[in-house]
Every structure is written in structure tokens, then in C-alpha cells.
Amino acid sequence: MIKKIAILTGGGDCPGLNATLRSVVQSCTVDHNIQVVGIPYGFKGLLENKFVPLTLANTTGILSKGGTILGSSNVDTPFRVPVKRNGQKEYEDRSDEVVENLREARVEALIVVGGDGTQAIAHQMAEKGVHVVGIPKTIDNDLNGTEFTIGFFTAVGTAVDALDKLHTTAESHQRIMVVEVMGRNAGWIALFAGLGGDADAILIPEIPFDLAQVAKGLNDAYHAEKRYSIVVVAEGAKPVGGEQTVSRIIEDSPEPVRLGGVAHQVAMDLEKLTGRTSRAIVLGHLLRGGSPDAFDRILAGRFGAAAVDAVVKGKFDTMASYQNDTVSLVPLETGAGKNRYVSTDSPFLKAAKERGILFGG
């Protein structure tokens, strides 16, 4: 009988994390009489041996709240902790210390909510004997092993709302509006937002683009009385034979290369190629914020209940997965450090092309 579990939220924040915490607490408390503690700021809190009680009382009313009441971190891992020795930065493995922290706190299982990097750390913890179950979340929807992740649909909804507003101003001035959304190497947000927001072109990392093709298509539409254009571009999209647009490099970061600025370059190039005024808009971290939509709340509830059920049944080193409207379990290594990209046979990509949406490749 499991009596006590811990839960943490790792990586970037997104809508639906608090709904996940609420679901886990409800399932543990109501159905199984299991005590739940939260770990502040992801694996950082585990390194610092910090635990906070999570109850029905202190998680009431958080389902609709964005972000995470536990806080998160996308730079901390117990397997590579920076230390200063003789004025030099080095790294040490403190995972044994973390395992001992869990043992001393009498935590019998750990639920980890996160994306590919967080689940990779979780799988490493499982290999050290920790009873781990993963819950997939990321607005990028690029985690292998699940069709949808917590936070994705809310981010898409935010992007579509922005596109709806841009349609009116673009039409008023007969402009080309280029909207940049998140998506380092996977174009799920751009694809879904472009479909839902009636974009004329969608540029994604999986399909290197020829901007001359896009410009020709937009001009053809213009001469057919479509006097304005909406282009959605993922931050990781790149031209044929070119590279991704890098905004800066941050040393000693798990992801030192920070992308950004592709919308501005695309807007300038389209203005030259079409002879029409173009503007760039970067949605950035706006996509991570706000209250989760209904789908993300429901998905968080299903994932939370599935994770608790896995703990109770002793099905560890697994991750909750959504496939074909069914929530099941997959091996945790399925999502550990692995990504899922928009494939050439994606029905969503096919639908976009059948509607005449341009991809430039």
C-alpha cells in the first residue's frame, strides 16, 4: 500500500499544470487515502530537500489558474549540478543525495510532470530505483509517445485569438502580417494555429521553405482580390539551404541556442519579394500564459488520475499517454529526451495543403 507520493512540475510552465496537481491530489485523497507532497521548482526543490503538503484544501480553486503553484525550473538536474572549484565551474552528480532525500521524507513514489528533458531526468531517476510515473506537458506538443500534451491546445487557442485580431488590421491596410509562434524543431503550434486562424501560409521547421514560392502564392491571391495575407511561422523554421534564426547564445544552459527573430526576417523578405507592406509580430511567452482551456483541463484530469492509478498498481517507469481518445501508459523511456515532429503523412498537414495553405516547400 502506497501511503505517500511526491509530485513536481519541471521545464517551462504552461496552462494546465495546476489542473494536473488538483487531479492528482483528488485521486490520491478521495480514492486511495494517499498523502501528497509537492516539490517546489522542479528538481531544484528535490536537490534542496524541500517538500510542501498538497491537500484538497490548498488545491481548491487552482484548476483554472495558469502556471504552477509549485513553481518550475528548466535548468536544474540532480545528475549535473554546477559547483565552483578553484574558481572554475565544474559539474557533479548528486542523484544519490536526491534519492536519499526522498527516502528520508518517506516518499514512496514520484510523479513528474514535464516535457522531453524533464522525462529524461525522470527516467534516470527510475533507473536508480525511484518509483517514477511521468505526465506529459509542453505547449510545443513535441513529446514522443503521446498524441497531445497538456498546454498545447490552450497555446493554440491563444495564437488563434491573436490571428483573429490581426485579420482585421491586415485587411484594413492590405498588409502581410507575419506571426511568430514557439516551436524550436516541431511545428505543431504553427500548424494548428494556422489551420484554426485561417492563415495563408504556414512555415514550420519540418519543411524548409522557399520564400519566393510563398511570395508568388500571396501575390496570386492578391490579384484574385485577397488583398491581405496572414503568415504563421514557427521560431525554428528555416529557408531551404539555410539555418534557423538565432537571437542569442546563453552559455552553460541546457539549451544555449535561443531562437527568435525569424518573423522579422520573413516579413522583410516578403516585403521585397511582393512589393507590399509587411509587419512582424512575435507571440513568444504569451503562448505559455493564461487559464487552460476546457480540453487541457480535462486532459490534465485524465493524466493525473492515470498516473495515480499507475502508482497504486505499481506500474513504474511509465508515462501517461493520449492516443486515439484513450489514456494509457507507455514506457517512460518512450518520451525521455525524444521528440515527435510533424510528419509528411500528418492528416493535419494534408488538410492544410488541401485548403491551399502555402508551406513554401
Other beta carbons within 10 Å of 168: 9
Cα dist. 59→26, 62, 70, 123, 338 in Å? 9, 6, 11, 27, 32
> Are 292 and 152 a contacting pair, CB within 8 Å?
no
Q: Which of 13, 76, 140, 293 is catalytic?
A: 140
CA–CA separation, 186 vs 340, rounded Å? 7
> Are 79 and 47 a contacting pair, CB within 8 Å?
no
Q: Is 13 part of the annotated catalytic residue set?
A: no
Cα dist. 78→11, 33, 36, 38, 343 in Å? 14, 30, 22, 17, 34
Angle at which helices 294-312 and 17-26 pack, to 10 degrees? 40
Catalytic residues: 140
